[in-house]
């Protein structure tokens, strides 16, 4: 089997476990790497679980697309927060996280050899899923502030293009795309008869009065817009693996085939917890998002000391900053040195498709204020020291 080669050879290795091993080998490292929040799910998520245990049939498989009470709760949320109406042309599918929702979408709409347009820097799991499905990621650079270049996206479309992927608020950059740009991309998809896949995992994480925009709310967009959502971020649900997707109804049969094959149905106990979470008091999100906003403010103030060593693009969403470091050093080498020499971890830009320079993603959502302060201090000092001596 020495010469065995599979399609997985073409797929990049996930970076988070690689950095995780480096952190483990250097005790005391503060991680500004993984994109998770520090807080727990709301108490309502736990309080509803006796209802799950009280029903013996909950140990059996349930509907592929999700349990009816959760579907109803999601429909109400989409209407209230995203201004999206469920109609005859669209429907909701609960998934085991939004990564699964993306894979469902790609497998449902493509054949081997098709193309998916990703904007760089991309979210690495999107690129991995596209490659895994036997499709070709077509990479379109964003502008100097990581905003969409709509003309370049339009020029990248070929007869093999099946979808344009956008993420807002963005991972890894933290930028929020304008409503105008999203409308333009959505309109291009309509005109060219392709899908607009929009990832909204960070929909609640916007700052300084910036409003979240959902393309699924655009008039007449239901037939070609696929919207992806997650409870992992806003509701502290990372390991519970619950997300959902809003899809054109004509894709439901195909999506159910994929989901039934991979997972049969999302974990039912997690679906109950999600139902509870969506009933959480408004104060839960407000309090936690305000805390992250304060950490963001402190992080940005500290990062501004690096203006001679890095460019720091304004970021009004998610819980990331994406730094361009003024060095010829490889980004992974820089990450290794920051961990080993300064006990602070970030993620290299190469994993997001940024090979034309040295870039770092800094995540601040997982840390309490004091730990975040210490972590950013180590990062700033570490970068200044390494770059001065390099």
Q: From the CA atom positions of the chain, what is the Rg in Å?
A: 21
Report the distance separating Cα 92 and Cα 95, nearest Å: 10
This prediction has a pTM of 0.95
At 326 the pLDDT is 96
Q: What domains are defined for the chain?
A: 7-41+282-389 (3.90.1150.10), 43-277 (3.40.640.10)
Q: Which of 89, 65, 43, 36 is nearest to 243 (CA)?
A: 65
CB neighbour list of residue 180: distance below 8 Å, 6 or more residues apart? none
Q: Return the structure tokens found at 43.
A: 């108490």
Q: What is the pLDDT of residues 144-178, one digit of tens each?
A: 999 999 999 999 999 999 999 999 999 999 999 99
Q: Please, what's the b/e burial string for 290-309 (b: 16 or more CB within 10 A of its CB; e: otherwise)?
A: ebbeebbeebbebbeebeeb
Widest CA span in the chain: 64
DSSP 147-185: ---HHHHHHT--TTEEEEEEESS-TTT-----HHHHHHH
At 9 the pLDDT is 86
Cβ-based neighbour number of residue 85 at 10 Å:
12
Token pair 């109803």: residue: 72
At 35 the pLDDT is 86
At 206 the pLDDT is 97
CB neighbour list of residue 191: distance below 8 Å, 6 or more residues apart? none
Question: Do the bridges between strand 225-230 and strand 243-248 make them parallel or antiparallel, or are there none, so unpaired?
Answer: antiparallel
Contact of 323 with 312, CB cutoff 8 Å:
yes
| pLDDT tens track, the chain, 390 positions | 666 668 888 888 888 888 889 999 999 999 998 888 989 999 999 999 999 999 999 999 999 999 999 999 999 999 999 999 999 999 999 999 999 999 999 999 999 999 999 999 999 999 999 999 999 999 999 999 999 999 999 999 999 999 999 999 999 999 999 999 999 999 999 999 999 999 999 999 999 999 999 999 999 999 999 999 999 999 999 999 999 999 999 999 999 999 999 999 999 999 999 999 999 999 999 999 999 999 999 999 999 999 889 999 989 999 999 999 999 999 999 999 999 999 999 999 999 999 999 999 999 998 888 888 899 999 999 999 999 877
Q: Which of 84, 54, 63 is nearest to 246 (CA)?
A: 84
Token pair 């709760």: residue: 73
Question: Do the bridges between strand 30-31 and strand 344-345 make them parallel or antiparallel, or are there none, so unpaired?
Answer: parallel
At 17 the pLDDT is 86
CB neighbour list of residue 366: distance below 8 Å, 6 or more residues apart? 31, 34, 35, 36, 37, 38
Alpha carbon of 118 to those of 13, 115, 152, 158, 216: distances in Å?
18, 10, 11, 14, 19
């Amino acid at each position: 089997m020495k010469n065995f080669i599979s399609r997985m050879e073409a797929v990049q290795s996930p970076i988070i476990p690689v950095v995780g091993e480096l952190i483990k080998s250097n005790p005391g490292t503060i991680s500004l790497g993984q994109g998770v929040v520090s807080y727990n799910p709301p108490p309502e998520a736990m309080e509803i679980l006796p209802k799950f245990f009280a029903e013996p049939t909950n140990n059996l498989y349930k509907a592929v697309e999700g349990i009816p009470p959760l579907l109803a709760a999601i429909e109400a949320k989409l209407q209230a927060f995203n201004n999206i109406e469920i109609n005859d042309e669209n429907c909701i599918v609960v998934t085991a996280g939004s990564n699964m929702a993306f894979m469902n979408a790609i497998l449902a709409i493509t054949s081997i050899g098709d193309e998916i347009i990703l904007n760089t820097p991309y979210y690495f799991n999107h690129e991995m899923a596209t490659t895994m499905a036997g499709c070709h990621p077509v990479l379109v650079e964003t502008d100097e502030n990581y905003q969409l270049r709509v003309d370049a996206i339009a020029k990248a479309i070929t007869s093999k293009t099946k979808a344009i992927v956008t993420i807002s608020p963005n991972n890894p950059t933290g930028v929020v795309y304008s409503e105008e740009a999203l409308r333009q991309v959505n309109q291009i998809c309509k005109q060219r008869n392709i899908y607009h896949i929009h990832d909204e995992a960070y929909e609640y994480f916007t700052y300084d009065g910036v409003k979240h925009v959902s393309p699924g709310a655009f008039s007449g967009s239901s037939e070609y817009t696929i919207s992806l959502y997650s409870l992992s971020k806003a509701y502290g649900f990372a390991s519970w693996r619950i997300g959902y997707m809003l899809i054109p109804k004509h894709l439901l049969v195909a999506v159910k085939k994929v989901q039934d094959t991979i997972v049969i149905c999302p974990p039912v106990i997690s679906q109950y917890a999600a139902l509870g979470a969506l009933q959480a008091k408004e104060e839960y999100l407000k309090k936690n998002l305000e805390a992250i906003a304060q950490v963001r403010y402190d992080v940005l103030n500290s990062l501004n000391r690096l203006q001679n060593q890095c460019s720091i693009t304004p970021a009004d969403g998610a819980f990331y900053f994406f730094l361009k470091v003024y060095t010829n050093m490889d980004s992974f080498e820089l990450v290794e040195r920051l961990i080993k020499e300064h006990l602070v971890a970030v993620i290299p830009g190469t994993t997001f498709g940024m090979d034309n320079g040295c870039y770092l993603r800094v995540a601040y959502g997982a840390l309490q204020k004091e730990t975040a302060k210490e972590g950013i201090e180590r990062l700033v000092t570490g970068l200044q020291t390494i770059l001065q001596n390099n």
